[in-house]
Structure 1
């Protein structure tokens, strides 16, 4: 019978417990650090911007005078941009995921495509701005309008939707599709009636993440030449526009010259957060509805 050194076993258990406590403490402090920084940021923004938010600020036009500046044009531009980004990203992203998971043959080409899609998620956003400037603004001669900006931002967030949709499709139990095929359904009928409804909550989660990123990006829009000061309100996808992040960016730059611009930037950040929370809340409600159904 092999002799067991109880003292050695106890020592190893104590070291593991100590390591576990250390790791737990480090992770807790990391979480608290992030929460504290977020709380300080929200407090600073709210304290500097809430006093400047009123109906004149929300419904007025942009102005070079800080006391008369409004952001209705930037709000409308942001909403119009999302109306382009959301359907384009969902249609192309989900379609790509369906093809890669359900139709494409597994092999070298599939592996190359999959690797490139994953790598695109880490490409700096300004690179997508250069791509949008080259293709949509100059080659297709759209100009710096909502359609060009929306297509550029769609390219930026497309990898997020593709990867999230692929993971959601893979998570659908195989026996569901096998049962559908056993009942005589075609592949497309199985995808449309079985796989997509079951994968929709995961797909919508990717859509929420992608829209959250798109609504706060500035670099691609700077590259394609979106103006910061635009008096007319946009009324269609072929109109020139500006968005809330662009306005925040330029007002932050101008705050070194005029102190009131810092308060205008803070107030615009508050409005942007509210718009972001509203859009995300709508998407989350839709996701939860389908999640309960399927």
Structure 2
């Protein structure tokens, strides 16, 4: 009601200009939503007919002339878990330090500039650095572990910046009230600040997962192109394996099997949707619990 009364007080020309801007903003939002929906629908319509139980439950066999992407599915899940287990404590801890503990504004600006610079570096450069440092210098060879560590460096800026911005949205009165009641700073952060900013942390995780499952250039140099089952989680982390995005590249660009590539893309899209939905649900439950 307040907005309507304010609009009525504006001159007709201002009201027309305001209405035009609102329509443009709504149109931009609608176009964005339609583009995303059209992209998802196109991939699913092209890919789902090729998704069979044999495709997702077996591995590739030259003797039987069959194609299976189970190793790539497992490799994708393994590398997501490994990367998030390492990057979440680092990213959230760094954001908490920058927001709550750092007293030097110059240091904060330097770290923020560094994270923004890391976020803008092309992934192919991460792949080359990861190959030289993790695969050769640390002698991890071409493995999922080397790929996961490379992805940690890639997605760390995303976790830090989203968590930091979410922490900044917590009202200062929350901090002052908790400290005024005698709570320690860490207790205040753990029980008030982090639960209040859990939505931003979950958003950072979703963005990070999207970057992980969609990455192929860096993993070509670090994780490898293997399409065979590598055993359990710990055995797989030491071996070379292709994720779904790398397998998609192999089938589309190297072998010209576009129908299989669309099937892989559909599976990858469904995995991303399921993980994003699960992260949202987990974030809500965690927020209520904390």
Q: TM-score with structure 2 length normalisation?
A: 0.86
Q: Identify the residue that residue 275 of structure 1 maps to in structure 2.
A: 271
Q: Identify the residue that residue 241 of structure 2 maps to in structure 1.
A: 241
Structure 1 residue 19: Cα displacement: 3.8
Structure 1 residue 167: Cα displacement: 1.6
Larger Rg: 1
Which sections of structure 2, spanning at least 5 residues, go unmatched?
1-9
Q: Identify the residue that residue 252 of structure 1 maps to in structure 2.
A: 252
Distance 1:62 1:129 in 2: 26
Q: Identify the residue that residue 45 of structure 2 maps to in structure 1.
A: 47
1:136-159 superposed Cα distances (whole Å, 9 cap, x missing partner): 111111112121111111111111
Q: Identify the residue that residue 7 of structure 1 maps to in structure 2.
A: none
Q: TM-score with structure 1 length normalisation?
A: 0.85
Judged with a 3 Å threshold, the aligned counterparts in structure 2 of structure 1 residues 64 and 18 are, in CA distance, closer, same or farther, namely: farther
Summarize the alignment of residues 1-294 of structure 1 with structure 2, pairs less than 5 Å apart.
13-63=11-61, 68-224=66-222, 226-227=224-225, 229-235=226-232, 236=234, 237-254=237-254, 256=256, 261-293=257-289
Q: Identify the residue that residue 5 of structure 2 maps to in structure 1.
A: none
Distance 1:195 1:86 in 2: 21
Alignment partner of 2:240: what SS? coil
Alignment partner of 1:220: what SS? helix
Alignment partner of 1:62: what SS? strand
Which sections of structure 1, spanning at least 5 residues, go unmatched?
1-11
Distance 2:192 2:31 in 1: 43
Where do 4+ consecutive residues of structure 1 move more than 3 Å?
12-44, 63-67, 290-294
Distance 2:172 2:37 in 1: 44
Which range moves more in the overlay, 106-115 or 273-282?
106-115
Alignment partner of 1:70: what SS? strand
Structure 1 residue 163: Cα displacement: 0.8
Distance 2:201 2:250 in 1: 35
Q: Is the 8 A contact 1:251 1:265 kept in 2?
A: yes
1:102-127 superposed Cα distances (whole Å, 9 cap, x missing partner): 22213322211122212322222222
Distance 2:13 2:182 in 1: 60
Which range moves more in the overlay, 78-87 or 233-242?
233-242
Distance 1:283 1:205 in 2: 9
Alignment partner of 2:253: what SS? helix
RMSD (CA atoms): 2.5
1:35-88 superposed Cα distances (whole Å, 9 cap, x missing partner): 444444334323332222111111110245896100000000001001111111
Judged with a 3 Å threshold, the aligned counterparts in structure 2 of structure 1 residues 17 and 248 are, in CA distance, closer, same or farther, namely: same
Distance 2:79 2:286 in 1: 26
